């Protein structure tokens, strides 16, 4: 491991925020790129985006681009979007349908299983089976498509075993994307993740959210609400499992994951402005339990599942000091906009909340870059930041092992 | 000291311009940041900007932001604009009034003396007296507010002792800001400072300035004008002290400073287009001596004081190759725009002059970045550049001492 | 030589594309700057741009700017556009006429032979003959002006000896610039050069070009066309020499160069949309041979000469990941736009072709920056890329010799 980074990790004080270089140093960002972005699973899309054979979509992260394509047999596959000849991007449209993948430069052509179909004038001495597209590791979980840039990513199997049953009742594989929004944030990606990981700021920053969600309150006020919810959840067929396999809590040895159902405040059936439903019930649910499920697939892919819609988050690093926050709203695949749901009402809460988060995270980024920034103490409501710091710094510590 | 920088300093030829890396190297800019920007005093504002208790203004430099605030007792204080919790910027408006300073992120709140007033849910085990805002060194001299980012900045006391009396008759503490203008310049900050430090270029570049100011002329033509002025100065109550405590001339061991009164050309009572007064007399002056005072507070804060207005300069580094030149015009606090002075006429000279400087400094910056740039000989009228080079390179040489 | 670069060169596989760092690494770009851009000859302009004494034009490359000026005796000279005083750019207009070169900063003035004419107030102790403008190596070949930033550039004499006779019949010194176009390309300069060096991509990318030019075809189909052309060429006075002194083929020890005449497809007299002539015949040609001459002066300056116009290419590096592709169209100096040629028709082919190249080269740049990029095998039609790689990597290997 890089000396600078190992000293930084050694100097980390438990229960305190991270030091400046974690947010501003080129060395740390290079380590992030290799040991976090290059290893972790990323939410790359939803199976409903590519329903037919030959449908593809691109997932771009930093300098990499991945083709996610459904082959003739219906299997979803992923390949590096790089020609094996002289490296051109193969697909340039973000989404499309094709029988084969043809490079726009010299027309080398690949089958949807990645094998080289034709390369005009290529000398016969070359073994064409060595010239297949680079396969990318892919997992589809309840319709959610995850990829890793690593050939040896964190094991997905324990996560799948545990998360598939709790996600099943929501039928996310039978949803579709109602809306996507991208919020550019001038901040290191870790400040976005930390912001997402605590609701200590919700009281001062998110009046809209705090009106309906209880998690900005101290635990002793939240607990009775959760207790009351659980009975309703059972009745409606909503899982209330508590899974915490993140960071030091992760005993599976595989990919981090978590699931938790918590209560909305009284009168709120879903994350809407007034508490009323926003869209048809998801999956096999039979009613509204007035709760929301907070789930993670890997460290970087949180989602929030209400009874009638799900909200997926993506933190895209752009550079050490810029990121994109993306939000994807899922509704039941049969829901028709304008009839079954009103788009403005559906996206209202998380759009207004993310705009506010953008502002405070950018102020945070300006502050941590200052000479006089000193990491301060976390409060108990920020315990998931502490967990994130541990999990993240463990990843950076892996360098020796993953060359 | 960094090896590269010590070789550069060793290679500096007396009486010659500086070598390319002083204007283009990342290493030098990092040293500038630490040893110059991080040590020197900066003009941060004027006391008239924050007349009342709770009034504050921000002073930003590179990644740092400083809150300058007048407390309930009327004392002007300065703090790093960084929350002690997770580092958010505290104040985001450039100017305002507040009873306490509340962080927009998690609402940690500080008193105007910097002490922590409240931090919701913070564990009682933390000593709150350790969580005060970081105090910033501040000095107010004749209403001019100076700050240093260092905990151990150059001693201000000798400067104050010597400069307070010569500035007193101008009553700068009883002025107000008539106008501020910012000129972005694509050049290293040192090229702006060097440009300001010589009037060798005035003949070819500044016809407006050269019509009224004599300092572009050889000394033998300037001396008789100054002799003639001194009698008038005495009559009008204008100090004609000559103070030169800059660089190697500085025997005080403290902050560099200088003061010098020089004559305008015949017929010019102030720095106006036609020579006529521009605004009411400053301070206790009883008439126009037809001169201008050139003064420095530290190496980076020049000002020019006419009988009826003062012009303050700020050189803001943005990056190794970009800067902002800011100019602030002060007039008597009772002067009313449109009645006592005409703003366009007041700012005319230094606005037109700074626009011209921007152009030639940017051409200079392009040239010194070229492979074939070789530092050439300075002429006698550029002796203050030589002085600046010495003082600046001495600062860079301090690295061993200030870790 | 830099260790990183020598390992990269050692790892280069013959017959394969170059590895990622050649396109993305700062270290390689710095080596490019020093060992390629700082040594090679650059097309800087055409003599018709500066017909009269005192006419000048600027040639800018990265941080350098060169003044190309015709002196009172009619000789074309080149100087670094840097004042010997404090380094300001001297000329800021891209083109002009002047009796002497005067610095806009302090009015130091130079004669058109580069000697210092005047420097106001400069101490007499300085030897003014040491303060001449830095002369830049320049060669004018058939009206084409080439410069090198090096004091010891590749020897131009063997190239001149060999190329002057084959260029003479085209009378390029009696042409003028009909049009210039600049195409910004987000790609490392080497991807532009490689793209120019092969026509393997022409079939898929350039239908307009492929309709008239045979070089995208396998050699066995091209040879008979060339055989047929040669008789016509002789009749029309068009040289059909074959010169290949590039990279490992270069036995002269001097500057790389090449010349080759190849046939257009039947029915095409020149590079026009329909095959018809576009402009008056060049030089001493007596008719259309239906061919085009592909020539190089140095590794970076290709040109294509039809019977009635010539097309010059410039690859301007801007940064490691951005370049400008410039194209200059030359016609006979007596040709009058609108009468003797139609500008839209003249530039059509290479404008449409360069727009397409921009697109594919930018896709190539995105791809080679990806983690999963692996250099693939070149096909036989890409043999000039192989030659470029060899010549280029030999230049990088020179570091030990040229300090």
pLDDT tier for residue C216 given thresholds of 50, 70 and 90: confident
Model pLDDT, residue B2: 79
Cβ burial, residue A39 (10 Å; 0-12/13-18/19+):
middle
DSSP letter at A273? S
Domain-located, residue C213: yes
Q: Which residues in A lie closer than 8 A to residue B84 (C-beta atoms)?
A: 374, 376
Q: Residue C26: inside a domain, yes or no? A: no
- Which single residue is written with the structure tokens 């970076």? C300
Domain ends where: C89, C108, C139? C139
pLDDT exceeds cutoff 50 at C230 = yes
Quote the CA–CA distance of C193 and C296 in Å, as a whole number: 12
Residue A248 has pLDDT above 90, yes or no: no
**Binary contact (C87, B201; C-beta < 8 A):** no
Domain termination site, one of C78, C108, C139: C139
Looking at the structure, do residues C55 and C165 belong to the same domain, yes or no? Answer: no
Q: Which chains touch B (3 or more CB pairs under 8 A)?
A: A, C
pLDDT at A167: 98
C400 pLDDT higher than 60 = no
Please give the average per-residue pLDDT across C183-200, as a whole number: 97
- H or E segment and range at residue B360: helix B343-368
pLDDT band at A403 (very low <50, low <70, confident <90, very high): very low
Predicted pLDDT at B3:
87
Give the number of other Cβ atoms within 10 Å of residue C158's Cβ. Answer: 17
Are the beta carbons of A377 and B80 separated by less than 8 Å?
Answer: no
Residues C159 and C135 in one domain: no
Predicted confidence at residue C403, as pLDDT, reads 38
Enumerate residues 150 to 189 of chain A having a beta carbon within 8 A of any beta carbon in chain C.
Answer: none
Residues 6+ apart with CB under 8 A from B44: B57, B59, B66, B68, B78, B138, B145, B146, B147
Residue A263 sits in the same domain as residue A160: yes
Specify the CATH number for the domain of residue A207: 3.90.380.10
Mutate one of A86, A126, A132, A152 to test the C interface: name it (highest C CB count within 10 A).
A86
Residue B28 falls inside a structural domain: no
- The region, left, alpha or beta by phi > 0 then psi within -120 to 50, assigned to residue A41 is beta
> Looking at the complex, does the CB of residue B128 fall below 8 Å from at least one CB of chain A?
no
Q: Is residue C70 part of a domain?
A: yes
- DSSP secondary-structure letter at A398? G
Task: Examine residue A77 and state whether it is found in any structural domain, yes or no.
Answer: yes
Q: If you average pLDDT over residues C179-185, what whole number do you get?
A: 98
Per the structure, the complete domain to which residue A104 belongs is given by 42-139
Neighbours of C289 (CB within 10 A): 26
Q: What confidence category does residue A399 fall into, taking pLDDT thresholds of 50, 70 and 90?
A: low
Given C105, C139, C173, the domain boundary residue is: C139
Q: Is the pLDDT of residue C218 over 80?
A: no
CA distance B251 to B256: 9
One domain, residues A188 and A297: yes
Q: Does residue C165 share a domain with residue C100? A: no
> Which residue among B201, B359, B368 places its CB closest to the CB of C87?
B368
Name the residue of chain B whose CA is nearest to A202's CA.
Answer: B106
The number of beta carbons lying within 10 Å of the beta carbon of residue C74 is: 9
The pLDDT of residue C69 is 98
- The per-residue pLDDT for range B280-313, each reduced to its tens digit, is 999 999 999 999 999 999 999 999 999 999 999 9
Indicate the SS3 state at residue C43: strand
* C324 vs B165: CA distance, rounded Å: 60
pLDDT the model gives residue C1 = 63
Locate A142 and state its tokens: 């309840």
Residues of C in contact with B375 (CB under 8 A): 86-87
| pLDDT confidence tier of residue A1, bands split at 50, 70 and 90 | low
C129, two tokens: 């003959």
Q: Do B105 and A201 meet the contact criterion of CB atoms below 8 Å apart?
A: yes
If asked whether residues A161 and A306 sit together in one domain, one would say yes
Q: Which of C146, C147, C141 is nearest to C175 (CA)?
A: C141
* Predicted confidence (pLDDT) per residue in B60-79, tens digit: 999 999 999 999 999 999 99
Q: Is residue C231 part of a domain?
A: yes
Contacts of A55 (CB under 8 A, 6+ apart): A49, A69, A70, A95, A96, A97
In a domain, C277, yes or no: yes
Are residue C176 and residue C113 in the same domain, yes or no? no
Q: How many domains does chain A have?
A: 2
Same-domain pairing of C181 and C75: no
Q: Is the same domain home to A222 and A168?
A: yes
C123 and C162 share one domain: no
Question: Shortest Cα distance from A120 to chain C (angstroms)?
Answer: 9
The answer for residues whose C-beta is within 8 angstroms of residue A336's C-beta and 6 or more apart is none
| C240, C307 Cβ separation under 8 angstroms | no
On the question of pLDDT at C48 being above 50, the answer is yes
Chain B residues inside the 8 Å CB shell of C134: 372, 374
Helix axes C343-368, C189-196, angle to 10 degrees: 120
pLDDT beneath 70: ranges in chain B:
1, 399-403
Cα-based torsion angle of the residue sequence A226, A231, A236, A239 in order, rounded to the nearest 10 degrees: 60
**Structural domain contains residue B37:** no
Q: Angle, nearest 10°, between helix axes A343-368 and A189-196? A: 120
Q: What is the DSSP letter of B113?
A: T
Q: Could you tell me if B61 lies within 8 Å of chain A, comparing CB atoms?
A: no
CATH of the domain at B131: 2.102.10.10
Q: Would you call C121 and B373 a contact, using CB atoms and an 8 Å cutoff? A: no
> From the CA of A341, how many Å to the nearest CA of chain B?
33
Res B104: pLDDT:
96
CA–CA dist A280, A330 (Å, integer): 11
Query: Is residue A147 less than 8 Å (CB to CB) from chain C?
Result: no
Strand partners, C145: C45, C140
B372 shares contact with chain C (CB less than 8 Å): yes
- Same domain flag for A116 and A246: no
Whether chain A has a CB inside 8 Å of the CB on C243: the answer is no
The predicted-structure confidence for A59-112, as pLDDT tens digits, reads as follows: 999 999 999 999 999 999 999 999 999 999 999 999 999 999 999 999 999 999
Same domain? For A239 and A171 the reply is yes
Residues comprising chain B, all counted: 403
């Amino acid at each position: 491991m890089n000396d600078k980074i190992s000293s930084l990790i050694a100097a980390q004080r438990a229960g305190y925020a991270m030091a400046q270089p974690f947010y501003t140093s080129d060395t740390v960002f290079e380590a992030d790129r290799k040991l976090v972005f290059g290893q972790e699973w990323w939410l790359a899309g939803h199976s409903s985006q590519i329903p037919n054979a030959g449908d593809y979509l691109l997932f771009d992260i930093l300098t990499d681009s991945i083709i996610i394509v459904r082959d003739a047999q219906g299997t979803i596959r992923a390949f590096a979007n790089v020609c094996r000849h002289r490296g051109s991007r193969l697909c340039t449209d973000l989404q499309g349908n094709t029988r084969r993948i043809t490079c726009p430069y010299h027309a080398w052509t690949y089958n949807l299983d990645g094998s080289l179909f034709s390369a005009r004038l290529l000398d016969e001495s070359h073994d064409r089976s060595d010239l297949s597209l680079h396969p990318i590791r892919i997992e589809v979980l309840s319709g959610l498509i995850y990829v890793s840039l690593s050939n040896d990513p964190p094991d997905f199997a324990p996560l799948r075993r545990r998360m598939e049953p709790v996600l099943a009742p929501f039928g996310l594989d039978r949803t579709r994307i109602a809306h996507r929004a991208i919020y550019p944030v001038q901040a290191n990606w870790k400040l976005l993740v930390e912001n997402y990981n605590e609701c200590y700021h919700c009281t001062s920053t998110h009046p809209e959210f705090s009106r309906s969600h209880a998690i900005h309150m101290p635990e002793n006020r939240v607990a009775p609400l959760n207790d009351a919810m659980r009975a309703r959840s059972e009745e409606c067929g909503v899982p209330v499992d508590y899974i915490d396999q993140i960071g030091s809590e992760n005993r599976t040895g595989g990919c981090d994951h978590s699931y938790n159902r918590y209560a909305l405040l009284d009168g709120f059936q879903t994350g809407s402005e007034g508490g009323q439903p926003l869209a048809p019930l998801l999956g096999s649910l039979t009613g509204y339990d007035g709760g929301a499920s907070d789930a993670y697939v890997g460290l970087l892919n949180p989602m929030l599942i209400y009874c009638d819609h799900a909200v997926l988050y993506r933190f895209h690093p752009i550079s050490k000091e810029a990121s994109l926050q993306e939000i994807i709203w899922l509704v039941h695949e049969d829901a028709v906009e304008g009839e079954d749901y009103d788009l403005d009402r559906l996206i209202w809460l998380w759009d207004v909340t993310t705009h506010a988060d953008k502002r405070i995270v950018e102020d945070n980024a300006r502050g941590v870059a200052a000479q006089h920034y000193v990491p301060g103490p976390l409060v108990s409501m920020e315990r998931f930041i502490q967990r994130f710091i541990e999990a993240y710094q463990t990843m950076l510590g892996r360098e020796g092992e993953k060359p």
